[in-house]
Amino acid sequence: MGVTRVAYEADGWGVGELWLDGDVVVWHELPRSAIELQGRPVAHPYVKLLQRYFAGADVNLSDVPLDLEYETPFLERCAHALRAVPRGETVTYGELAALAGSPGAARAAGSFCARNRLGLFVPCHRVVSAGGLGSYGSHGLAYKKRLLELEGATL
């Protein structure tokens, strides 16, 4: 089966994209307000989950199958450990590395988060630096803070 692009709109957030191989998420772009939805929206169950998430509902995205085959064993463990961090909670890069079985590999955990291509399905916004929120790549710190506030995290 080929990879399919599914665009979705989240009220107040903008337009995001899912890339699916069947029902396996291979890529997720978080919504941005500068992007316009092209064509008709697709009624995929994951779109409904994401729209509910961005509306503030407590939805479980940890059961959605993901393509993690490209990852090293350590980075795959990071992904699984991060998917287990509950909504509204945060961990530091060092804690994520320890949860993935490699205490002391905080920089590697940070590199994993920096190149995360699975958006909310591997919620790197829940990873903070030991001294503050840290960064959030091209989306910026304000977007990360908004996601954490949506989840009820104490900042």
CA 87 → CA 4, 19, 124, distances in Å? 28, 23, 12
Task: Please give the Cα distance from 96 to 105 (Å, whole number).
Answer: 9
Q: Which residue has the tokens 């993901």?
A: 66
Q: Torsion angle, CA of 41/46/51/53, rounded to 10 degrees? A: -170
What is the number of helices (H) and of strands (E) in the chain?
5, 5
Known catalytic membership, residue 78: no
Angstrom distance (rounded) from CA 73 to CA 77:
6
Q: Which of 124, 127, 148, 153 is labelled catalytic? A: 124
Residues that are catalytic: 124
